[in-house]
Amino acid sequence: QKEVEQDPGPLSVPEGAIVSLNCTYSNSAFQYFMWYRQYSRKGPELLMYTYSSGNKEDGRFTAQVDKSSKYISLFIRDSQPSDSATYLCAMSENTGNQFYFGTGTSLTVIP
């Protein structure tokens, strides 16, 4: 079983929609949770970073962590065509030395 599971999609939504992206994990020791965005043929770029449980908001993006269910989510409000990319979740134990990534969800926002 992989440490981190992520639905690969693809996900296609109209411009302005609310997008929900999710990951599940098996290691209850994970404490740091991140979301990266990766455009085609580019390196990933960090979007959001949360520690332990709870919500974090940054502009149109909200990250949620539910440690009891081992489930994390990223919500994108008022989605734009420029949000079209692959979204990767990543997580780590307290040491922060080794991060485990999901396989990524491909999102297309249609104008």
Partner 1 sequence: NAGVTQTPKFQVLKTGQSMTLQCAQDMNHEYMSWYRQDPGMGLRLIHYSVGAGITDQGEVPNGYNVSRSTTEDFPLRLLSAAPSQTSVYFCASSRNRGYEQYFGPGTRLTVT
The answer to the question of residue 90 lying near partner 1 (CB under 8 A) is: yes
Task: Pick one of 22, 24, 73, 92: the residue that binds partner 1 (CB under 8 A).
Answer: 92
# residues contacting partner 1 (CB under 8 A) = 26
**Which part of the chain contacts partner 1 (CB under 8 A), choosing from 2-10, 14-22, 53-61, 72-80?**
2-10
Per DSSP, the three-state class of 83 is helix
Q: Is 54 exposed, middle or buried (0-12, 13-18, 19+ CB in 10 A)?
A: exposed
C-beta of residue 6 within 8 angstroms of C-beta of residue 23: yes
The answer to the question of residue 98 lying near partner 1 (CB under 8 A) is: yes
Q: Is 11 exposed, middle or buried (0-12, 13-18, 19+ CB in 10 A)?
A: middle
Least Cβ distance, residue 97 to partner 1 (angstroms): 6
Task: Pick one of 40, 68, 82, 95: the residue that binds partner 1 (CB under 8 A).
Answer: 95
Residues that bind partner 1 in the complex, under the rule CB under 8 A:
4, 6, 8, 32, 34, 36, 41-46, 49, 88, 90, 92, 95-104
